[in-house]
């Protein structure tokens, strides 16, 4: 939107390279009967080509100054539904026309809210068929990291527990206005409708993963103190002197399920 002043508090860096926009749309592969949700449309670089294809698209935007330009530009399009609200607290289930409808989520997410927003969206995972996000490259590397790598951490475990993850491609700072100080990347997240490993208590699982990574240099024997002792960790076939980043998602699930079994209440 010409003349829009980019706002630091909303982490606004707007995409302006038509070739990259085309690549992202091609990765999303929108179809006419998709119900799309775009978070943070900015200057509508992605909104416009997506609205050309789909019959229903909900757009979430918090910035007061973008509401009028977006409405003026797309208000006559029957697919366009604008919600002037905070994506972090929005009830995505309220967009469903029927209970088993599936949403496809897209967005160039502000770096400062990307992790809490993804965790919020995962509470609606049963209603989401996939998510395509532009994120800071470092965050995408962490999401898609393999166990044992330097970037594998709490975010990797929690997202990979819930979703199949795919790092699609890198987008350099020169493709934005204003240019961010870091590289970005596009990630595809496909929530499992049946998870490969199931935590019996997902709140407890999240707590255990958080505690395991709370002091990355320490061994599980130390970080899980108060939850599981060395013998109990060994019961899961895991060396208690191992560090959290060396464990697979399945091993974290096994540890959480043992703790749940030992502490059913």
Using one digit for the tens of pLDDT, what is the confidence trace for 70-103?
999 999 999 999 999 999 999 999 999 998 999 9
Asked if 143 and 115 touch (Cβ cutoff 8 Å), the reply is no
Second CATH level (architecture) for the domain 8-191 = 3-Layer(aba) Sandwich (3.40)
- Predicted local confidence at residue 1, as pLDDT: 47
Separation CA 47–CA 32 (nearest Å): 14
Smallest Cα–Cα separation from 36: which of 128, 120, 121?
128
Rounded to a whole number, what is the distance in angstroms from the first to the last CA of the chain? 54
| Alpha carbon of residue 125 to chain centroid | 11
Q: For the domain 202-262, what is the CATH code?
A: 1.10.8.100
Asked if 104 and 36 touch (Cβ cutoff 8 Å), the reply is yes
Mean pLDDT of the chain: 93
Using one digit for the tens of pLDDT, what is the confidence trace for 46-65?
999 999 999 999 999 999 99
- Predicted local confidence at residue 112, as pLDDT: 83
- 109 band by pLDDT with thresholds 50, 70 and 90: confident
Which whole number is the average pLDDT over 137-141?
96
Domains 8-191 and 202-262 share a fold: no
- Predicted local confidence at residue 217, as pLDDT: 87
DSSP 22: H
Separation CA 213–CA 253 (nearest Å): 14
Using one digit for the tens of pLDDT, what is the confidence trace for 232-263?
999 999 999 999 999 999 999 999 999 999 98
pLDDT for 159 beyond 90: yes
Q: What is the DSSP string of 52-112?
A: TT-SEEEEEE--HHHHHHHHHHHTT-TTEEEEES-TTT--GGGG-SSTT--EEEEEE--GG
- Predicted local confidence at residue 12, as pLDDT: 53
pTM: 0.92
**CB-based burial label for 165 (10 Å; 0-12, 13-18, 19+):** middle
Separation CA 122–CA 115 (nearest Å): 11
pLDDT for 198 beyond 90: yes
- Predicted local confidence at residue 131, as pLDDT: 98
Using one digit for the tens of pLDDT, what is the confidence trace for 13-41?
778 889 999 999 999 999 999 999 999 99
Domain range annotation of the chain: 8-191, 202-262
């Amino acid at each position: 939107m010409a003349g829009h002043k980019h706002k630091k508090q909303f982490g606004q860096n707007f995409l302006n390279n038509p070739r990259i926009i085309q690549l992202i749309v091609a990765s999303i592969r929108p179809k006419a009967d998709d119900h799309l949700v775009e978070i943070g449309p900015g200057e509508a670089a992605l909104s416009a080509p997506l609205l050309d294809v789909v019959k229903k698209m909900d757009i979430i935007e918090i910035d007061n100054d973008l509401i009028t330009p977006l409405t003026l530009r797309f208000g006559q399009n029957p697919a366009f539904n604008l919600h002037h609200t905070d994506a972090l607290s929005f009830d995505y289930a309220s967009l469903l026309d029927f209970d088993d409808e599936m949403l496809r989520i897209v967005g160039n997410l502000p770096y400062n809210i990307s992790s809490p927003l993804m965790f919020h969206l995962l509470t609606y995972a049963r209603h989401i068929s996939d998510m395509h996000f532009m994120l800071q490259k470092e965050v995408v590397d962490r999401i898609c990291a393999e166990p044992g790598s330097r970037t594998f951490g709490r975010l990797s475990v929690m997202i990979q527990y819930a979703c199949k993850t795919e790092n699609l491609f890198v987008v350099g700072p020169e493709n934005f206005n204003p240019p961010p100080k870091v590289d970005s990347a596009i990630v595809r997240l496909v929530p499992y409708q049946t998870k490969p490993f199931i935590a019996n208590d997902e709140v407890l699982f999240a707590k255990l993963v958080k505690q395991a990574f709370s002091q990355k240099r320490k061994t599980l024997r130390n970080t899980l103190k108060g939850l599981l002792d060395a013998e109990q960790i060994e019961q899961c076939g895991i060396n208690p002197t191992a560090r959290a980043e060396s464990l697979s998602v399945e091993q974290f699930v096994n540890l959480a399920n043992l703790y749940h079994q030992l502490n059913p209440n």
